[in-house]
Structure 1
Amino acid sequence: MNQENLSSKPHFQILDGLRGVAAVLVVFFHLAEPLASSHLDNVVNHGYLAVDFFFLLSGFVIGYAYDDRWKTLTFKSFLRRRLIRLQPLVILGMTLGGITFYFTDSTIWPMIHTVPLWKLIIVMLIGYTILPIPLSMDIRGWQEMHPLNSVGWSLFFEYIANMMYALGIRKLSNKSLAIFVSLSALLLIHFAVTNPNGDVTGGWTLNYEHMRVGITRTLFPFFAGLLLSRVTQPTKIKNAFLWCSLLVVAVLLMPRIGGASNLWLNGLFEAFCIIVIFPLIVYIGASGVLHPNEDKICKFLGDISYPLYMTHYVLVYFYVAWISNHKSITLVEAWPTALLTFGGAIVLAIISLKLYDEPVRKWLHGKIKA
């Protein structure tokens, strides 16, 4: 099926808008995180669940866009399309992270100015491929697989899920896929309630523990989204964007459940959100009827969602360095800088979209027949 036929499918604008809402909350989460005294009292307590929501949205959209195209579509052409869609901003995020690396020095990163330029360049080039770096190449000290752009870890698992889909899972019947998704849900629940942190965080370090977390966080939402795209029969739901947005906000801002004494309760809550609430949100969003002017809001939020996610952490590095150099600062004192950082992230996302991502993808589509 050619590009024209693909574009003739109805577009889920509300889901685009919800992706943008979640991306905005991710930025707020990262701005609030360094001000929290522990992982128990972040203002945006469950902001990291936006990644799990992204995986679910991605699985739904991939299934909707490609499930009926495999009579003519090849793995190579599928992967080419995904590379054109995802990789330009991966490269931009790593490049910006590399350019600004030496300017984010603070008390929490004393090693930065000891990193030779050649090592920085190697880490940046590996980052372009989205492949993880080993711990021996960590140049920031946070034990991340992508120390120039922290959020790159989720793209690594996104690609794994995409390849699993294209290489075999797409061939599963709905019944077999449902069994696979159910087993993935059990795996997620077990991890969530037994994790010593009392949540589903993790996946950003190249070691056994974090690889297990990353795979566990990816399998259920991505392939549940795929299953949902196959079995959903959307109805017409009014005010869907408003209600879904409020649900996303409510989940991500919900205070920790159970406190420090019953961490497993918080894990159970997060598993419930991923397994029940997020699919419900996607179903309602896919069934929604847009009100006048909501289409413009959803388009704007959808357009900037991926650029915002892939570039905001470059500015967050500066913000975190500033916070670390003012250790006694409070939320009330920090909010003007946080707001400025947030505004800068929105502006950077728009510039990245209009001056880089859209032109590059258009050029690549012209050069490479996907």
Structure 2
Amino acid sequence: MNAKTLSPELLKTKEHFHILDGLRGVAAVAIVIFHFMEVVFLPAKNFIGHGFLAVDFFFCLSGFVIGYAYDDRIGKMGILAFLKARLIRLHPLVVLGSVLGLLAFLFDPFGMHPEIYSAGRIAVIFLSSVLLIPFPVVSERYFNLFAFNAPAWSLFWEYVANIVYALALYRATRNVLLILTLVAAAAICYIGYTSGNLLGGWSGETFWHGSARISYSFLAGLLIFRSKWIIKSNLGFVGLSVLLLLAFLMPDSKWNWITEPMIVLLYFPLLISLGAGAKLQEGVKKLCIFSGNISYPLYMTHYMVLWLFADYYFSHKPDTTQLFFIITAGTALLVGFAYVVMKVYDIPVRRYFLAKLKKA
């Protein structure tokens, strides 16, 4: 590739949609709370029992942002430069999340017994996590695709979506995108009907559910950008945060197979359209920036604590008051830890590799 292809002008980040960034952080905090709560309560008693749908919101937002950031320059960058840029953006935290998960696996004081696994087996599980090669073999971790960092399943599909975008979707016409989105919507409805919910994708048994979830939401987000379906409103960050949280707080019911697909198919794309067009109040701009910045580090580093919490809960049976303080303090500390990770690790590492890429 020539110098023009990798020029700083093509690699620079465009202006952000700050409200959408802020909503990403709201969704990340919601999924952390959901993961705490699902250890303790069955879905019917979990007040944030649909927090897992935050992943579908992430996917939809990703399609919109990728279209906005790269549609007009990937042809000049080239596929390889695009994939390198995405690797630099995403993979440092994939590696760190795997390291943290390995430490939790080896030094869990509450119940895990790593001695039943050989060093070679642990090394293979760790490498599969670092390289995002699905390897659902650890029964004590419910056969997660990535035993050391469960949320990495969505990053696996994020990479798949980015590769498909680079190879084909960025050149696809809007009509083609619309057809593909409708096909993916049918797949979402089929999974909802046959499984009763959209919770799958994270385990070996439900592996292909993740394909449907990323396919629809990523395509929908890309279609929103290409079609300029942006709705002007005065809802602002606070109003849209409330609307987003309503999806996660939706009660569990026998109609999940209908309500969950409707949230994914219609409600989240609507929120993306509203968020892209909403007016940002200056007073919450810094909050939106902070929320967006810590969202990915929070998502990719929190599950080490969740494994420890789960083993602590089943071994010590804390009461309701203790659980309230543990989950509240744990969530706050994880947000703080995510901020430290962003400042000390993620940003410096990405800057280093971006500098190397620009000099290539």
TM bin, normalised by shorter chain, reads: over 0.9
* Structure 2 residue aligned with 1:177: 177
* Aligned partner of 2:129 among 127, 135, 153: 127
**1:340 is the counterpart of 2:336:** no
CA distance in 1, matches of 2:28, 2:180: 28
* Structure 2 residue aligned with 1:299: 289
* Structure 2 residue aligned with 1:367: 356
Shift of 1:28: 0.5
**1:26 is the counterpart of 2:31:** yes
* Cα pair distance change 1:139/1:348, threshold 3 Å: farther
TM-score (norm 1): 0.91
CA distance in 2, matches of 1:312, 1:221: 24
Residue segments in structure 1 that go unaligned for 5+ positions in a row: 258-262
Question: Which amino acid letter does the alignment assign opposite residue 283 of structure 2?
Answer: N
CA distance in 1, matches of 2:115, 2:34: 28
Deviations 1:226-281 (Å, cap 9, x if unpaired)? 11111125354223212210111111011113xxxxx3x21210100011110110
Mapping of 1:68-147 within 5 angstroms? 68-107=72-111, 109=112, 111-135=113-137, 138=138, 140-147=140-147
* Aligned partner of 1:204 among 189, 194, 202: 202
Contact 2:10 2:77 in 1 (8 A): no
* Cα pair distance change 1:232/1:240, threshold 3 Å: farther
Question: Which amino acid letter does the alignment assign opposite residue 223 of structure 2?
Answer: L
Shift of 1:48: 0.4
Contact 1:97 1:148 in 2 (8 A): yes
Deviations 1:140-174 (Å, cap 9, x if unpaired)? 44111111111111100111111111111222210
CA distance in 2, matches of 1:41, 1:281: 26
CA distance in 2, matches of 1:144, 1:233: 36
SS in 2 for 1:48: helix
Shift of 1:332: 3.4
Which of 288-297 and 236-245 deviates more? Answer: 236-245
Question: Which amino acid letter does the alignment assign opposite residue 68 of structure 1?
Answer: D
CA distance in 2, matches of 1:348, 1:170: 36
Contact 1:203 1:211 in 2 (8 A): yes
Shift of 1:6: 6.0
**1:243 is the counterpart of 2:239:** yes
Contact 2:231 2:273 in 1 (8 A): no
Shift of 1:18: 0.3
Contact 1:308 1:345 in 2 (8 A): yes
CA distance in 2, matches of 1:238, 1:310: 32
* Cα pair distance change 1:35/1:91, threshold 3 Å: same
Question: Which amino acid letter does the alignment assign opposite residue 280 of structure 1?
Answer: L
Deviations 1:307-329 (Å, cap 9, x if unpaired)? 000001111111111111133x4
* Structure 1 residue aligned with 2:277: 287
* Cα pair distance change 1:8/1:133, threshold 3 Å: closer
Shift of 1:58: 0.4
Residue segments in structure 2 that go unaligned for 5+ positions in a row: none
CA distance in 2, matches of 1:313, 1:191: 26
CA distance in 1, matches of 2:127, 2:157: 19
Structure with the higher fraction of residues in helix conformation: 2
Mapping of 1:155-234 within 5 angstroms? 155-195=155-195, 198-206=196-204, 209-234=205-230
Contact 1:115 1:139 in 2 (8 A): no
* Structure 2 residue aligned with 1:260: none
CA distance in 1, matches of 2:13, 2:294: 23
Question: Which amino acid letter does the alignment assign opposite residue 203 of structure 2?
Answer: T
Question: Which amino acid letter does the alignment assign opposite residue 345 of structure 2?
Answer: Y
Question: Which amino acid letter does the alignment assign opposite residue 19 of structure 2?
Answer: I
Shift of 1:330: 4.1
Contact 2:43 2:252 in 1 (8 A): no
**1:318 is the counterpart of 2:320:** no
CA distance in 1, matches of 2:168, 2:13: 26
What root-mean-square deviation, in Å, do the aligned CA atoms of Structure 1 and Structure 2 show? 1.8
* Cα pair distance change 1:350/1:100, threshold 3 Å: same
* Structure 2 residue aligned with 1:54: 58
* Structure 2 residue aligned with 1:274: 264
* Structure 2 residue aligned with 1:10: 15
CA distance in 2, matches of 1:8, 1:337: 38
SS in 2 for 1:72: helix
CA distance in 2, matches of 1:10, 1:190: 38
Mapping of 1:345-360 within 5 angstroms? 345-360=334-349
Contact 2:232 2:277 in 1 (8 A): yes
CA distance in 1, matches of 2:60, 2:295: 15
Question: Which amino acid letter does the alignment assign opposite residue 103 of structure 1?
Answer: F
CA distance in 2, matches of 1:119, 1:191: 33
Deviations 1:113-147 (Å, cap 9, x if unpaired)? 32233322332122111111253xx2744111111
* Cα pair distance change 1:139/1:94, threshold 3 Å: farther
CA distance in 2, matches of 1:29, 1:282: 22
CA distance in 2, matches of 1:326, 1:311: 24
